[in-house]
Structure 1
């Protein structure tokens, strides 16, 4: 009976997990950068007219 190469399988799993984590981190950074560049309207702006005072 053949034995599975545990260390190799474990290393491949760790590399896949690390790559997935990096991709998630990159997506978060991209989303954050996009939000800073293009801020969305967070509600009505209250602008006081200086003549009405």
Structure 2
């Protein structure tokens, strides 16, 4: 009976793991809204949501940035 080639099996597992990781990164880059690695919610304009405790701008005034 032939002995198992553990080094070959390990290398195949490592290559499969590397391939899977690259596929995952490629799918993340191609998905919509992933401009900065999936943090699209954090990259909105500062005036997109009011800050709690901040005074509201008066009518006709631009909000301070």
Q: TM-score range by the shorter chain?
A: 0.5 to 0.7
Quick check: which one's helix share is greater?
Answer: 1
TM-score normalised over the length of structure 2: 0.48
Q: Which has the higher contact order (CA 8 A, sep 6+)?
A: 2
Unmatched tracts of structure 1, length 5 or more: 37-49
TM-score normalised over the length of structure 1: 0.57
Aligned length: 36
| Deviating 4+ runs (over 6 angstroms) | none
Unmatched tracts of structure 2, length 5 or more: 35-59, 61-65
Superposition CA RMSD, Å: 1.9
